[in-house]
Structure formats: C-alpha cells, structure tokens
C-alpha cells in the first residue's frame, strides 16, 4: 500500500489547485472576474461526449458459438438500457469533465444486489494508487489501491457475516479513541473536507471583491461538503494472484486493521475499475496530462487584464482630482467639491481643480480577444464548430467541409472517450452475466428452417465478446457522419428503413418503428394491387 500510494500527497496538492482553477478561475477559492477555464472545459466536454445519444452494440469473438449471434440484440439492448437506467450515462459524463481537470478519472463498477443492477461510481485520482506509474493500463498493473471513507455504522453493516466483526469494530474504536493518525495520508479521500483545507497561496492577481460569491466572506459557496458524521479511512488493495488467475483483495481499516483478505468479489479475472485519460500525450505516465493545467497561465493573464480594465473603468466613472494651491483640510474640501450640491470656498490664489483622467489603452480589448482565441485553440474548437462565422466561407458545403476538417482534434479525444465507455460497458455486461437471473429471448431467423425462439439468462451468453459504441454515438461531432453513412447504406440497399431509424435515433424510436411496420404493410398491399392490375392489363 505504501508503494502504491507513494505519490499521493504530491498529486493531492496539484489536484487542489486544478480544482480551484476549474471552479473559481484561480489557484485558490478567491475566484476570478471571469472564469474562462470553466466555459472552455464545459464546451470541449460537450463536443466529445453526449450522454443522450450513446448506444452500444456487441461484437462476438472468433471462438463464440455460431448460434450466439441470435442473443446479441437482447444483450446489446440490455447493456444500453442499464447504462441509462443506472444513471451511468450521467456519471460517465461527469467523469469526462473532471478527467479534463485532473488528467484522469476512474470508474468503479459494482453489482448492487438490492437494485439487481450493475452500478457505476466515480473514483477521483487522489483516491487511487498504482504500483508502477510508468505503466498506463490498469490491466497491466501488478497491484493497485483504492482509498475511500465510510462511517462506523456503515462499516458495521458491511461486516455482517464476518466472524471477526466484533474484534474488528473493537480495534477500530480503540484506534479512534487513541487518536491514531493515518500513515497513508489521513483526510485525503476528499479534496475539500468539512473543516476546510489549506490551499495554495493566491497568485496576487486581483479576484472577486470581498464578500462576493466565491470570496472568503462567503465560505458557504466554496462547494465544500460538510459531513458531521465521523468518517473512517478505508483501503482496498488489489494484488494479482497467479495461482487463482484473479485479483486478491485486502480490505484495510486505517491504519492497519485487516478486515478482509479474499479473492476478487467482482468479475473474475477483471479489475473493477476503468480509467479515463482523454489527454493521451503522456505515454509513460499513468495519471495522464491535465487539460486545465495548460490553461492556467492563460487564465492568470486574462484575470490580470480584466482587473486592469475594471480599474481603468472605475477611474473613468470616478476620476481623481488635483487641487493645486489648496491648503488646510484638502481631503474634506475635495469630498465636498465632488459631492452633488456640495459648497466650498475657493482659497485665495488657489488653482482650479483638475480632473486626472485615466488613459485607456486602445489595444487592450483586442488582446483580451486574442487570449480567448488561445483558449479555443488549446481546446481545438474553432469558430466554425461553435457556429460562428469564418472569413471567406460563402456556402453551406464549404462550411461543412471546414467544420469536418477543424474537428480532427476533438475527434481524437472523442475516440479515447469512446474506448473508455466501451471498457466500462463491457465490465457492466460481465457483471450482469455473473449476477443477473433475468430471462431474455433470442428471436429465431424466420427464413431458416427449424429455427425457433430461445429463452436464456445472461450467464448462458458467451464470454467471447466486446461491447462497442454503436456508430460513434458517444460524441455529437460524429452525428452528421453517421447520418451520411446511414443514407449511403440505405441507397445501396445494405440496410432497411427500420435500421435507418435506429442509426438516426429520432425521438419515439419504438413508436416510429411500429408505425413503419404499418407503412410497409400498406406499401406491400399497394404493390400487390399494382401487380395484379398490370397482369390483368397484359391478359386483355
């Protein structure tokens, strides 16, 4: 555990600053006048992942029995339904957004016996540790650790059936009363605790005014969870067991109380975690590259310029004055001079008050627009993709071509997102296979003699398969490409209109497919009547 969590403290300090930059636009929670990082991350994440449109298909391996293809539609429909019903599509979308902030996020897939479904949970990177950070895939790690917190009552419930329950709870109680500290980093299972954390010092650039929404005068707006219950730090160590060809799980209550030492309780031979790192530039660093880290210098520059603009505008609205030759209580006289209806006697020989106007640099807003353009360039989202005009574009075809060419960089990120979604959906379906007893029907092939419907449970479906995202449906960037491909296939008579509807995925899809059956039946009757009329005409 110490080896796996060696860099946790160092990464934790970095993640605190990245979190603040994303939420507030500054390295602490004072906040910036305008948080361009948040809008850039939100825009980019909406381009590379759409929770509403994602669908899955299943690709069978070469060793899968031939008849298993009839079960594929039911299993593909089940994993797509479970993805939506268990809110995985929303959890995954949240993970996409925060993976751009931290560099990576992890998802833990657990079978919930109560809801009879496979549930997905977010795991922040500071809650995780690996034995070798120079290996990027979890599957290649010899050992890794998941850190989390729980309450005493929840631990007591989790220990139900454990013969050592009383001894473990007694040890935990003794350690808590003795005030033992956690040698692996107590309190680091959350970025912000109820008591608050010490953040990095401010960059010195002006931020929100005192008492503002994210200022220190309103601490309730720093998005810090407040938990009154006493929390216990827990650790789950996963080590590959060669004899069992599976992971060995060791559950530890802080600091060193062994709760369980057992085989993997998840899918046999598979880690319960899926990693998502959309910025795949670091080929030898497990935690990936933070997209937000690339924007921090631009955000500081933007904050500096906006604060200067704000100061200059305030000087324009409320200018300073010089009072040459004035004596006595100059400050009080100056206040009276600038007050509406103020009366003041001009001292003998004193000059007329002079307004000290602040000079406004004409290029400052142009510089701010250039900074905005740099944010868009880092995200790879240019004017055409954002629906803005581009000089020289005069036709729809030209605009479509430019949008297609300029979407290359977001598409590369979208492909990485898609692969992580496929891994998570595969793990979800494997969980369903090992735990669900729901019955499904494999429809027969009507044109094959002797073929009939088959009732089966998920466990009876082959294990030799991959769940894949159907037609790049994770990202809205691919929508137009998918529609063009669908129309090409229809014109080539490679698909029917029912499959075309599925590829377009319009609202009320099931109702439209049922209505299409009626339309096709009516068309068949009309075609038959036309044929009969033509035959009667030829006979005459």
Taking only the tens place, the pLDDT of each residue in 300-346 is: 999 999 998 988 888 787 777 776 766 666 677 677 666 776 667 66
For residue 351, what are the CA distances in angstroms to 323, 325, 335, 537? 7, 6, 17, 112
Q: Tens-of-pLDDT digits for all 540 residues of the chain?
A: 999 999 999 999 999 999 999 999 998 767 888 999 999 999 999 888 988 888 899 999 999 998 898 899 899 999 999 999 999 999 999 999 999 999 999 999 999 888 889 999 999 999 999 999 999 999 999 999 999 999 888 998 888 888 888 998 888 887 766 665 444 444 444 544 333 333 333 333 334 444 344 444 444 467 777 778 888 899 999 999 999 999 999 999 987 899 999 999 889 999 999 999 998 778 889 999 999 999 999 999 999 999 989 888 887 877 777 767 666 666 776 776 667 766 676 666 677 777 777 777 888 899 999 999 999 989 888 765 665 655 555 555 545 555 555 567 788 888 999 999 999 999 999 999 999 999 999 887 665 555 678 899 999 999 999 999 886 777 776 666 667 777 888 888 888 888 777 777 776 777 788 888 888 888 888 888 888 888 888 776
List % helix, strand, coil for the chain (3-state, nearest 5): 45, 15, 40
For the chain, the structural domain boundaries read: 492-540
- pLDDT tens digits, one per residue of 183-221: 444 444 454 433 333 333 333 333 444 434 444 444 446
Q: What's the burial of 43, exposed, middle or buried (CB within 10 Å: 0-12/13-18/19+)?
A: middle
pTM for the model stands at 0.80
How far apart (Å, rounded) are the C-alpha atoms in residues 86 and 387?
34
- In the beta sheet, which residues pair with residue 232? 150
The span from the CA of 254 to the CA of 235, in Å, is 7
- CA-nearest of 300, 311, 292 to 203 is 300
Q: Residue 187: CB partners within 8 Å, gap ≥ 6? A: 193, 233
The string of DSSP codes covering 286-338 is TT---TGGGTHHHHHHHHHHHHHHHHHHHHHHS-EEE-TT--SSHHHHHHHHH
Q: Name every residue whose Cβ is closer than 8 Å to that of residue 207 and which is 6 or more positions away in sequence.
A: 24, 25, 26, 30, 31, 32, 33, 215, 303
CA distance 352 to 119: 76
Q: How many whole angstroms separate alpha carbon 110 and alpha carbon 266?
A: 7
Reference 427, options 261, 241, 275, 262; nearest CA is 275
Q: Are 150 and 172 in contact (CB under 8 A)?
A: no
**Using omega within 30 degrees of 0 as the cis cutoff, is the peptide bond preceding 265 cis?**
no
Backbone angles phi and psi of 263, in degrees to 5: -75, 165
Residue pLDDT, tens place only, 120-141: 999 999 999 999 999 999 999 9
Residues in the chain: 540
Helix (H, G, I), strand (E, B) or coil at 273: strand
């Amino acid at each position: 555990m110490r080896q796996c969590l060696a860099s946790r403290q160092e990464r934790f300090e970095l993640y605190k600053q990245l979190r603040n930059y994303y939420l507030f636009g500054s390295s602490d929670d004072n906040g910036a006048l305008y948080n361009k990082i948040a809008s850039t991350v939100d825009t980019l994440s909406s381009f590379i992942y759409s929770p509403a449109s994602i669908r899955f298909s299943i690709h069978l391996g070469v060793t899968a029995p031939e008849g298993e293809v009839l079960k594929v539609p039911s299993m593909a429909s089940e994993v797509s339904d479970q993805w939506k019903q268990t809110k995985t599509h929303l959890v995954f979308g949240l993970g996409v957004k925060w993976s751009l902030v931290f560099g990576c996020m992890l998802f833990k897939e657990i079978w919930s016996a109560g809801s009879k479904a496979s549930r997905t949970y977010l795991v922040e990177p500071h809650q995780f540790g690996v034995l070798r950070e120079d290996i990027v895939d979890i599957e290649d790690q010899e050992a890794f650790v998941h850190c989390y917190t729980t309450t005493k009552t929840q631990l007591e419930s989790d220990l139900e059936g454990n013969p050592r329950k009383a001894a473990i709870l007694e040890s935990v109680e003794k350690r808590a009363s003795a005030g033992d500290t956690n040698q692996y980093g107590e309190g680091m299972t959350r970025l912000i605790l109820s008591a608050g954390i010490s953040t990095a010092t401010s960059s010195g650039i002006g931020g929100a005014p005192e008492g503002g929404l994210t200022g220190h005068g309103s601490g309730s707006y720093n998005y810090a969870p407040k938990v009154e219950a006493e929390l216990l730090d827990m650790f789950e160590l996963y080590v590959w067991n060669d004899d069992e060809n599976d992971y060995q799980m060791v559950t530890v209550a802080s600091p060193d109380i062994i709760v369980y030492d057992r085989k993997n309780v998840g899918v046999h031979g598979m880690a319960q975690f899926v990693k998502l790192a959309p910025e795949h530039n670091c080929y030898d660093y497990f935690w990936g590259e933070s997209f937000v880290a690339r924007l921090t210098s631009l955000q500081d520059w933007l904050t500096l310029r906006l604060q200067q603009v704000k100061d200059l505008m305030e000087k324009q609205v409320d200018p300073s004055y010089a009072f040459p030759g004035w004596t006595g209580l100059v400050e009080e006289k100056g206040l009276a001079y600038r007050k509406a209806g103020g009366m003041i006697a001009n001292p003998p020989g004193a000059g007329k008050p002079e307004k000290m106007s602040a000079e406004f640099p004409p290029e400052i807003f142009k510089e701010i627009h250039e900074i905005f353009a740099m944010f868009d360039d880092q995200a790879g989202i240019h004017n055409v993709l954002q629906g803005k005009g581009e000089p020289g574009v005069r036709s729809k075809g030209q605009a479509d071509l430019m949008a297609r060419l300029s979407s290359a960089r977001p598409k590369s990120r979208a492909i990485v997102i898609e692969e992580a979604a496929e891994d998570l959906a595969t793990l979800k379906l494997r969980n369903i296979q090992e735990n669900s007893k729901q019955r499904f029907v494999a429809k027969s092939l009507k044109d094959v003699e002797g073929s009939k419907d088959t009732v089966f449970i998920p466990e009876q479906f082959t294990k030799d398969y991959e769940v894949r995202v159907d037609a790049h449906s994770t990202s809205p960037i691919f929508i137009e490409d998918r529609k063009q491909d669908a129309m090409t296939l229809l014109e080539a008579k490679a698909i029917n209109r029912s499959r075309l509807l599925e590829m377009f995925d319009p609202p009320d899809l099931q109702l439209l497919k049922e209505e299409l059956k009626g339309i096709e039946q009516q068309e068949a009757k009309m075609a038959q009547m036309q044929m009969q009329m033509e035959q009667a005409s030829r006979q005459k």
